[in-house]
Amino acid sequence: MSLSGFAFVGGSIERAAHLRDEPAALDALWPRARVLRLDAESRALDEGHLDAWGVGPAIAAERPAAAVFLGMAGEQACFALECLADGTPTCDLRRAGMQWPETEAALFAMAAGVLNWQRRSRHCGACGNSVETRQAGWSVRCPNCGLESYPRTDPAIIVAVSSGDRLLLGRQARWPAGRWSVVAGFVEPGESLEQTVAREVFEETAVRVRQVRYADSQPWPFPSALMLGFFAEADADASDPVAGDELEDARWFTREEVAAGLAASDAPSSGEPPPLAFSPRLSIARSLIEAWMAGGAATQR
């Protein structure tokens, strides 16, 4: 199945990866290119999705070596460039994910993912030498030992676990009062995704699951995750959840409680935190919960 209502997956962009190795072609595209201007922490210029973009020559007469080629939007090339000075008014990726048109938010996520990786890849992982950026930002190479590296994506699972008409939710101590969500965690080496789901749910809540079913995925470049969304059923004899190390609390919520939580999440704040609320309509977490409410999980059996 596919879910809807979350950011960074929409729109249409041709990545045109073959152009990453064609500097002359990229130079020729620069005079008409759209350039996403970012600061040193991958925040975009200003709050408006149109203001965030500049035209190539207005930023630099010639294509800067640091400009990351994002792809082609029709005949127009799109780049991202870290060029904003400290103190410039900016919009972070989370806000853009909620407010920008889907194609522009997806391009911003792509840019942030590449630039986040570049910042953590300035030295060779094998010999420690400084690396050179290649392929219009999409790889680095060590001139000393020749090791090449490419942008990393770290797979993580996120899963809506149900038991009959109840949904398993957990709460981290650092979250705002009333905030709960579904279980999530990173895939470890040597694991299948289904094994990660079973391990994470058991580690965080002591609940055993079965019938693990894939639903949808979302790039989550904070800084480099790919969220893989699942539904699962608790074992028929599952006992009450027990919060593991990463959670402050974990328990079952009824359909009525979840419905009230969804309503409270979209209502203007009244000052008092609601007993149950979810993250904004940005991440696949919220979409999994909404799909469970709508019966999406049940129809997949």
Please identify, using beta-carbon distances, which residue of 146 and 275 lies nearer to Zn ion.
146
Task: Confirm if 297 and 160 have CB atoms less than 8 A apart.
Answer: yes
- Nearest distance from C-beta of residue 141 to Zn ion, angstroms: 9
Q: Determine the interface stretch with Zn ion among 42-50, 117-125, 193-201, 288-296 (rule: CB under 5 A).
A: 117-125
Name which of 129 and 254 has its Cβ closer to Zn ion.
Answer: 129
Task: Kindly state the tokens that stand for 258.
Answer: 């979840």
Residues 1, 145, 177, 263: which binds Zn ion (CB under 5 A)?
145
The reply on whether position 17 binds Zn ion by CB under 5 A is no
The reply to whether 125 sits near Zn ion by the rule CB under 5 A is no
Could you tell me how many residues of this chain bind Zn ion (CB under 5 A)? 8
Enumerate the β-bridge partners of residue 90. Answer: 45
Does residue 40 touch Zn ion according to CB under 5 A? no
Instruction: Name the segment binding Zn ion (CB under 5 A); options: 77-85, 128-136, 216-224, 250-258.
Output: 128-136
At its nearest, how many Å lie between Zn ion and the CB of residue 289? 45
User: Does position 130 bind Zn ion by CB under 5 A?
Assistant: no
Answer for which of 29, 142, 187, 247 binds Zn ion (CB under 5 A) is: 142
Work out which of 4, 12, 76, 129 binds Zn ion, going by CB under 5 A.
129
Position among 127, 263, 267, 294 found at the interface with Zn ion (CB under 5 A): 127
Distance from CA of residue 162 to its chain's centroid?
Answer: 24
Q: Does 126 bind Zn ion (CB under 5 A)?
A: yes
Binding mask 251-290 for Zn ion (x = CB under 5 A): ----------------------------------------
Contact between 124 and Zn ion per CB under 5 A: yes
> Is 184 a binder of Zn ion (CB under 5 A)?
no
Closest separation in Å from C-beta 128 to Zn ion:
7
Asked if 152 and 35 touch (Cβ cutoff 8 Å), the reply is no
Which residues form the interface with Zn ion (CB under 5 A)?
Answer: 124, 126-127, 129, 142, 144-145, 147
